Structure 1
Amino acid sequence: MNCPRFVKPINVSFTKIPVGIKVPSTLSFSILTLIGLEKIYNAEDELILTIKHCVLFIQRGEYDKAEKLLHVALKQAQLMQHQSGITYVYDVMANLALQMEQLDKAKKLFVAVAQRVMGSGASEDDPRVVHINLKLARVCHLQKDYITAQLGYDWCLEKLNAQVDPSNDYKMLIAMAEDWYGRLFVECNKCEQGYKYMLSAYNRMRDFKDMEVAHIVVQLNDLGTVCEKMDNLDDSIKYISEAIELGKTQPDMEDLGIMYVNLGRAYMKKQLLTMARKNCGHALRLGILNKNSELKKEAELCMQEINS
């Protein structure tokens, strides 16, 4: 039997963005407000206009254009000798490389950002330093270097949990670290530990006022998939059902169909075949309607399993 699927995680966003600029969630967890670059936004200069255009290209998924323009922004920042600007451009480059799964490139860029931030006098406990190390741990995780990734996550959580009165930035970093760490454990077939971390991350994230609904939907679905792996089918059905109901409120929730497949498979495992057929059938209709061949294939496999 094919297992229920995680949907692609959405990176958490906590950076305060100036009015008029909307950064994609996968990039907005940057260190913009932590390094002082927000001061640039008070000046009408070519650098900020270039960065704005980079952000817009990224938002539209035009990554090649964004990458080329980021090199222009870097040259501008270097000519201005604006050290915070240079660091920020490197950080956006690193996040873009991570989003494009150019992992070796992302690692080199994040190391460069870390060196610049620590060179400016930041300590190990500084949220900027922890944030960058967390991203580096994530890169190692995606490269399946699980030992190095685990060391990185442990180090970050130790620094973050040592804060007596953590700010919202620290709390958001804790949530992200727990989420990624939990997913690592699941990938290593340690589902109980993974579930513990992912549930803690979810509970933290839903308390943030500015948390994107789409991210909560993803978290609920993925908690449901972990519960299915542990044969905790009632909780699996509960989480995935909540994800679907919340996902229906989001017009651009592309992964809703696969969540119906996941729910169908949970019902199938529980031997509730009528409900299983209903949900996988709905996923199949969505796949056909949206011309999504991958979803259609997943739903058809689900229906075949039910009928067999």
Structure 2
Amino acid sequence: MSSTYRLMWNRLGCIKNSLKLLTVPSLRHIPMRNKTVVSCTVGFSLFTWLGFENKLSAEDEIVETIKHCVLFIQRSEYEKAEQLLHVALRQAQQIQHQNGITYIYDVMANLALEREQLDKSKQLFVTVAQRIMADGATENDPRVVHISTKLARISHLKKEYNTAQVGYDWCLGKLKRMVESSEDDFTTKKLLAMTEDWYGRLFLECNQNEQGLLLMQSALDLMRQIPDIEKEHIIIQLNDIGTVCDKLGRADESISYFKEAIDLGKGLNMDELGAIYVNLGRAYLKKNMIEDARKVCGHGWKIGAMSKNDNIKHEAELCIKEIKNHS
């Protein structure tokens, strides 16, 4: 999975590449536009589980075509990706490359999910599931659990919460047993972290914030155990957990999470850090730490200005105004 897998869970409350902070009454909604990370839906595919990573060769034209599709998706050039996927599908069908056909359907399903074409995505994922089960996979096969997680996510996005909850519960049970039996299986740990975080955000949407927070924290703990997780992913997760803590009135905890996110992000080219500085400033304001709040909100404004992110600049200005009114 490492060659195509990048981001599984960033902000996970929405499905687009445009990353977003959680919306809670105490912290304003600040769009996050980091394009250095890849969407969770596209990044997590069946690449390794279908055996491509170990069998990839320079002359494998189908895999090379699929890799170009993924690059288009990463650049948000969805129409080009869709067209090229159909070319790849024809190539695979002509030579009866069954794993290739299955993987292309999987990428198509993920692309449809990325574009919020939920019914189309569901149909494609069902097709993938039927193909791998016809090939002998059982319900305990990690590929089946992977697809079931995506299907639960689709129900979640369609606000079919009961169906989504049943799906998440089933997947979590399977994944936890897999991880217990093989602690070094980082691919399964990634899928478990993604599932826990999606499930946690479902609880937030249903105003069950304590349960949501526990799942998001568990996902963060798993992320810390996985060697190839990019710092950006952990930074965004820390921010979102801090946001939930703020909503629950845990100001000290929220400050701790925001500060850790900022410390981890120093030196990275992430304009999202400006939004996190603003969140930290508002948390300081609640603690009457006026000078600290003024300092970090000002720094957030500077980052927004330098990155030409008007949304972050605007929120920083509102934060500074709140500080002045509070003084």
TM-score for both structures, normalised by structure 2: 0.83
The amino acid across from 1:152 in the alignment is G
Q: Report deviation, 1:160.
A: 1.7
Query: Which residue is equivalent to 1:19?
Result: none
Q: Report deviation, 1:250.
A: 2.0
Indicate if the aligned counterparts of 2:199 and 2:212 stay in contact, CA closer than 8 A: yes
Spell out, residue by residue over 1:79-121, the C-alpha distance to the aligned partner (whole angstroms, 9 max, x if none).
1111110110111112222222332222222122112111211
Indicate if the aligned counterparts of 1:5 and 1:225 stay in contact, CA closer than 8 A: no
Q: Report deviation, 1:266.
A: 0.9
Q: Aligned residues, how many?
A: 296
**Backbone CA RMSD of aligned residues:** 2.3
CA distance, structure 2, for counterparts of residue 88 and residue 36 of structure 1: 10
Task: Decide which of 90, 98, 103 is 1:88's aligned counterpart.
Answer: 103
Query: Which residue is equivalent to 2:43?
Result: 28
CA distance, structure 2, for counterparts of residue 66 and residue 272 of structure 1: 49
Query: Which residue is equivalent to 2:145?
Result: 130
* Unpaired stretches in structure 2, ≥5 consecutive residues: 1-24
Q: Is residue 222 from structure 1 mapped to residue 246 from structure 2 by the alignment? A: no
123-132 or 48-57: which moved more? 48-57
Q: Is residue 56 from structure 1 mapped to residue 56 from structure 2 by the alignment? A: no
Spell out, residue by residue over 1:233-260, the C-alpha distance to the aligned partner (whole angstroms, 9 max, x if none).
1110011111011112322x23111111
Indicate if the aligned counterparts of 1:31 and 1:128 stay in contact, CA closer than 8 A: yes
Query: Which residue is equivalent to 2:273?
Result: 256
Q: Report deviation, 1:43.
A: 5.8
Task: Decide which of 177, 180, 187 is 1:169's aligned counterpart.
Answer: 187
Query: Which residue is equivalent to 1:306?
Result: 323
287-296 or 216-225: which moved more? 287-296
Query: Which residue is equivalent to 1:191?
Result: 209
The amino acid across from 2:257 in the alignment is Y
Runs of 4+ in 1 over 3 A off after TM superposition: 4-10, 23-26, 37-40
Spell out, residue by residue over 1:124-153, the C-alpha distance to the aligned partner (whole angstroms, 9 max, x if none).
111101111111111222222222211111
CA distance, structure 2, for counterparts of residue 78 and residue 5 of structure 1: 46
Query: Which residue is equivalent to 2:302?
Result: 285
Q: Name the CA shift for 1:168/1:2 in 2 (closer, same or farther; >3 Å).
A: closer
CA distance, structure 2, for counterparts of residue 9 and residue 35 of structure 1: 32
Q: Name the CA shift for 1:248/1:106 in 2 (closer, same or farther; >3 Å).
A: farther
Indicate if the aligned counterparts of 1:221 and 1:243 stay in contact, CA closer than 8 A: yes
Q: Report deviation, 1:70.
A: 0.7
Q: Name the CA shift for 1:205/1:28 in 2 (closer, same or farther; >3 Å).
A: same
- Aligned partner of residue 291 in structure 1, secondary structure: coil
The amino acid across from 1:69 in the alignment is L
Query: Which residue is equivalent to 1:237?
Result: 255
Indicate if the aligned counterparts of 1:40 and 1:48 stay in contact, CA closer than 8 A: no
Query: Which residue is equivalent to 2:228?
Result: 210
Indicate if the aligned counterparts of 2:39 and 2:74 stay in contact, CA closer than 8 A: no
TM-score for both structures, normalised by structure 1: 0.88
